[in-house]
Structure 1
Amino acid sequence: TTFIGLVPLMATANPATFFIIPMAISLAFGVLFATVITLFLVPCLYLILHDFTGHTDSKEERALAYQHQFN
Structure 2
Amino acid sequence: MKHAVCICLLSTILLAGCQDDDDKSASYEPSSEHCQPDYWKSLPDNKDRESLVEKCMTGGSYQHSEPKTF
Which of the five TM-score ranges fits, normalised by the shorter chain? 0.3 to 0.5
Q: Which has the higher helix share?
A: 1
TM-score by length of 1: 0.39
- Larger RCO, structure (CA 8 Å, separation 6 or more): 1
TM-score by length of 2: 0.39
